[in-house]
Amino acid sequence: MIKFNHFKNKEIFILSILILILFIIIVFQVKTFLDCTNCDDGAFYKATTIYSLTDYIKLRYFSWSGRISGDIIVFLFVKNQIWLYRLISIISIILTTFSISKICFSKTNLGKNLISLNTLGLIGASILTSSVFWVSGAPYYLIPVSFGLYVMTFYNDQYFHYKNKFTLFRILLTITGILVSVFGNEQIAIIMMVFIILFHIRNGIKKEKLSKITYLLSVLMIICLLITLLSPGDKNRWIAEISIWFPNFNILPLTAHIKLGLYWIFDSIVNKMTLILFLLSLIPILSYKNNYKNKYLKNIYKVFFIQFIIIIVTKISSTITQYNFFDFNFLYNFKLLKDIYYETLSFSFHRLSLQQVVIGLFPFLYWGIFIFNLLILLINKAKDKVFMFLLLMSGIGSLVLMWFSPTIFASGNRVLYVCSIMWIIVFTKLSEELNLFKKEYFILFIFCFSIINLLSIYLNWIIKGFYTIY
């Protein structure tokens, strides 16, 4: 029997079904660029006319990439044109929402799965178009991440629910998940590996028994990760991408990686993951009931709340007014470190006035304090603070990995997908623990943001035609 515990009225349930329908409609609007000579779709299609699948995978592994499963899937997508992408992408979207529900809720049902689907629609439009709604993006982001999350539910059940017995079907699907995810995307693979290592450390400390299959699956994951990270093609790809995208990247000192990385990570979180950051910020505010007994936490909340109000005011000011008497755009401009480097090939400030340096560095200080305080407040709200810390850090960690990639400024918004998913899990899990989902206005609030976000993609394609933001 289907349970709708989180849907006290039919209207909310119907609206949630509309989100699912909208996801499906958008997937069916996706097109390929098979005749494009200078784009990924065209390059993959050309390869299908020259190589067999086996020869192509060998070529990619030894000359370009260890993403074996991603290469297989994109080859099949382009070879079979668009219908296979649509089928597997819809399955992956459903699997993602199911896995989020398994991680965030103690018990899952259709209502909770639909809530997770609503939260999936909160990912930025530019991130969705390049990682989900794109034939050459989904094989390396949507699909491996969806299977990776499913693998994590296998360990999550043992971590929180002390479940040690699993059906043969689930074990086989978990094995498939390991192969697809680890060989598809390095970001999710490394997050999974860290998660599982910590899982085994925690069980070792508590001296809890695990099934043999759990150890075997963990070993399989380590082997797969080594195979993909040590592929001969990755070295060739590294050299090629340096010459194409970022000359002299290989001789940058660690401090330069950190400074350029700080520009990129702040710009990504604040300007491209805006909606998720905003909704995460609402969690401490909506759940505030004078329950910060600790004086230190009270002060953190006061600073956080003042900054939040300033952010809302500046956003409204820039949106609804044609002429700004006070220009707050500098709060969202992190380009100082990048511009200085590309102009001088160093990080020297001697060419800039004190005013320029202060204005240029102030956004880093302002948002650094805001995000740091937000993380503390979110962790404080969680029942399992260690697990919440790991979820938040896994999102940030997936971005830090890009600091050491020559395509840091060329990979586009799709590399933000893993962090977006991890923080969607944070948002969903905390909302459930704080009983926010029991308030119908809150679910409607999420639905409104989700449907506006998805409709913006659909209507944009209707007006301008299909395109992806890399």
Q: Which is nearest to 93 in space by CA: 73, 113, 71?
A: 113
Calculate the CA 239 to chain-centre distance: 27
What percent of the chain lies above the pLDDT cut of 90?
Answer: 54
- C-alpha–C-alpha distance, residues 106 and 457, integer Å: 33
Residue 421 contacts residue 149 (beta carbons within 8 Å)? yes
Q: What's the pLDDT band for 327 if we cut at 50, 70, 90?
A: low
As a whole number, the mean pLDDT across the chain is 88
Residue 207 has pLDDT above 60, yes or no: yes
Residue 452 has pLDDT above 80, yes or no: yes
pLDDT average, residue stretch 187-205: 89
User: What pLDDT, in 10s, does the model give residues 409-447?
Assistant: 888 899 999 999 999 999 999 999 998 888 888 888 888
The most confident of the ranges 3-17, 309-323, 325-339, 415-429 is 415-429
Check residue 337 and give its pLDDT: 86
Q: What's the pLDDT band for 320 if we cut at 50, 70, 90?
A: low
User: What pLDDT, in 10s, does the model give residues 255-292?
Assistant: 889 989 999 999 999 999 999 999 999 999 988 765 66
pLDDT average, residue stretch 87-97: 95
At residue 33, φ and ψ (nearest 5 deg) are -115, 60
195, amino acid identity: F
- C-alpha–C-alpha distance, residues 261 and 255, integer Å: 10
Burial category of 461 from C-beta neighbours within 10 Å (exposed 0-12, middle 13-18, buried 19 and up) = middle
pLDDT average, residue stretch 214-227: 94
Q: Domain coordinates of the chain in residue numbers?
A: 247-438
Q: What's the pLDDT band for 1 if we cut at 50, 70, 90?
A: very low
Q: What is the DSSP string of 316-352?
A: HHHHH-SS-SS--GGGG--THHHHHHHHHSS---TTS
- Choice among 93-102, 177-186, 198-207, 218-227 with the minimum mean pLDDT: 198-207
Whole-model pTM over 0.85: yes
Residue 369 contacts residue 303 (beta carbons within 8 Å)? yes
Residue 162 has pLDDT above 80, yes or no: no
CA angle centred on 12, ends 6 and 17, rounded to 5°:
100
Residue 240 has pLDDT above 80, yes or no: yes
